[in-house]
Structure 1
Amino acid sequence: MKTIGYAAHSSESDLAPFAFDRRDPRPNDVAIDILYCGVCHSDLHTARNDWGNAVYPCVPGHEIVGRVTAVGSDVTKFEVGQTVAVGCLVDSCQHCDQCHKDHEQYCREGWTGTYNGADRITGENTMGGYSTHIVVREEFVLSVPDNLDVARVAPLLCAGITTYSPMREWNVGPGSRVAVVGLGGLGHMAVKIAAAMGAHVTVLSRSPGKEKDAIDLGAEAVLISTDEAAMARAASSFDFIIDTVPVYHDLNPYLPLLDTDATLVIVGQVGPLVETHTFPLIFARKRIAGSLIGGLKETQEMLDFCGRMNILPECEMIAMGDINTAYDRMEKSDVRYRFVIDMATMPAAA
C-alpha cells in the first residue's frame, strides 16, 4: 500500500515528506486511513535520537485516529468505515504472563512500538502515524466512543492512558488527594482525569502563572513548589503524586508532601534524575514508582471513561508541513497543551 509520510533521516535533519509501502493486510490485520495524529514528546526524542535507539528513516506518531478501509479475513471486531484508534503499541508476543494479564506494554519478549520498532514477522522497522495509512494487528486497534470529537481524541492514546493507568493502579477515586507535577501535555490530562475520578486535585507549579489554567482544567488548588513555607505546610498532604515532567529534575522537594503509604509515580522523564534522599521513604513507607502507558484492555477502558465523562485534551491543530515548527515550540513548552496533525494537509506526493 503506497503511503506518504513525514520522516526524519538523521538526528540532525528536519522531518520531510517520505514515500514508502505499507504491507498488505494479513488475515488478522486492520487497514486504516489516518485522519489525525497527535504529537508526543517521545516523537521529538526519537526523531532526534535522544535515547540512542532511533532507526532511520523514522516516521514518528503513536497517537492515531482514523477510519477502517479494509480488514483481513480473520478480523471480527472491526468493519470498513468504523472510526478507530491506535496507540503506542502494535504488537506483543501475546503468550507471556504479562500479555495474559493485559499488560502488553510489559511483554516479556518486548512489545512492538507503533514506530521505531521491529515487525515481529518481517523484522522491518515500523513506521508511525505521521502518514496517510497504517496497517495494524486487530488486537491492537481500539474503538472510539461515538460522542467524542475525533479531531481531539488522538492525544488520549498516549497522554491519556499514561496518566489514567497509574491512577487506576493506585486506586485514585472520590476523596483521593492527588498532586500533579507539571502542567504540559501529560499534566493537563492528569488533572482532567483525576478530577473526573472524584479526586481533590492540586497542581504543583514553580510559578503562579499557571493557576488559572489549572483551575480551569479541574484542579482545586495550586501549590507553588518554590514557596518553601507553603511546601512545608503541605507536608503529608497527598495520597498520590503523578510526576509528568519530561526532563532531568529533583524529586526531593515532593517526597515530604506524600502521606504515609503514599506513592509518587514518574511518567515523564525517561533517564536520570537528581539523587534522591531515602529518609522520607523509609520513615513513612512512601514509594517512588514508574508507569508505562497501559495495556490494550486498559486503554479501551480509558477511552470509554473519557467518552462517559466527555474528557478531551486541549489541542492546537496543525498542518503536516508545520511539524518542524511544532517540534521547536514543544521544546520551549509553547503549546497548550497538545499538537494534533490534521492528515488532510498531507502533501499528495513525496
Structure 2
Amino acid sequence: MPTVLLSAADPTAALPAAGFDVVAHALGSTPPVDFAAVAVAVVVAEPVPAAAAQTRRWRAELADEFVPVVWLVTRPEAVPVGLDAGADVCLMMPVEPPHLAAQLRSLARTRAASARVGTRAAEARLLGDQLRQAFARLDAERELARRAHQAALPNELPGGVTVCRRGRAGFHDARRLPDGRIAFLVGDVPGRGGTVGSLLGLLALRAAFPPGAEPDPAAALERVNRDLLALGLDDPPLVALLAGVADHESITVARAGLTAPVWLPSGGEPAAWSAPGPFLGTAEASYPALTRRGGRLLVSTAGGDALLAAARRHGADVEAVATHVLAATPGAEDVVVMAVAP
C-alpha cells in the first residue's frame, strides 16, 4: 500500500480505509524524514507560515528526488503560498474523501514513475561512464598499434621508389637488396582500420621479406598467407597485398586482392596490369609472379579505374595520383600510392 506522510491529524480519518499507510509527522518538527518509503506527503496548512517553512525544508532535503506534496488549506489565499513553497497540489477543505484518495493515488503513480525515470537516468549515466572508459582504452590501444605500425614503415626509400601515404590505413615497404635489386610491397586491410588493421599490416610487413629469405614476390605472398591462416581467427580479415622485386631492367610482381597496378611503359600509354590472386588470410592459395620490362610501376591501395585515369593524367607523380584517387573514389579517406622506376 502507498505510504502517506501526514502532518497533522487525518482530516478525513479515511486514508487507511482507502488503502494508504499513514505515517504521522508533527507540523514544524525538525527530525529528518526518511522519504524512501513515502509516496505522498500531505500537509494540513494551518498555520500557513509553519506549513510553508516545513515544505521548503523538505524540498531542500529531497534535492532532485521527487516526492509529491499536497496542501490541505482552509483559505484561498493560502494556495499561492503553498505552491510557492513547493507544494504540488493545494486542495480546499473540507475535501471529499474519494476526491482526496484519488488525488493521492494519482500523485503516488507520478512518484513511482519519477523514481523509475531516475533509476534509468542513473543507469544511463553509469553506462555512459563505462562507455567513455571503454572508448578511452580503445583509443589508447589504437594509438599504440598506430605507433607500432608507423615504426615498422621505412624511414628512407631506395632510389627509384617514391611513396605518398594519405590517412592512417594501408602499409608499405621498400628496401635495397645486397645484389642491388629493390624489394617492395604495398598493402591494406579493407574494412579493418584501427588496431586490427595496424597489427595485421605489421605482421605482413615482417613476414613478406624476412632477413635471409629469397626476395620472391610469389613466395612472399604465400608466406604472409600461411601466417595469417595460422592465427586461426573466427572472423578472418581480408588482407590485400602486392609484393614485387625490381632490377635495372624489369619488375616482377605478385598480387593478392589489391587494386590492379598500372604499368607505365616507356613511350606508351599507361595500362592496368591484371596480376591474378585472391585476398590473403582466407584459404591456401598460390600467387603467380609476372614480369615486365621497359617501364615503371604505379601501385595503390585504392582507385581501380580512377588509378588508371590518374596515371594517364599525372604519370608517376605519387602526390598528384593520390589526390586524384581520393577525389574520384567515393568514401575513400586513406590511400598509399607507390611508384617504382628501376
TM-score > 0.5 by shorter chain: no
Instruction: Report which structure shows greater RCO (CA 8 Å, sep ≥6).
Output: 1
TM-score where L is the length of structure 1: 0.20
Higher helix share: 2
TM-score where L is the length of structure 2: 0.20
| Greater Rg by CA | 2
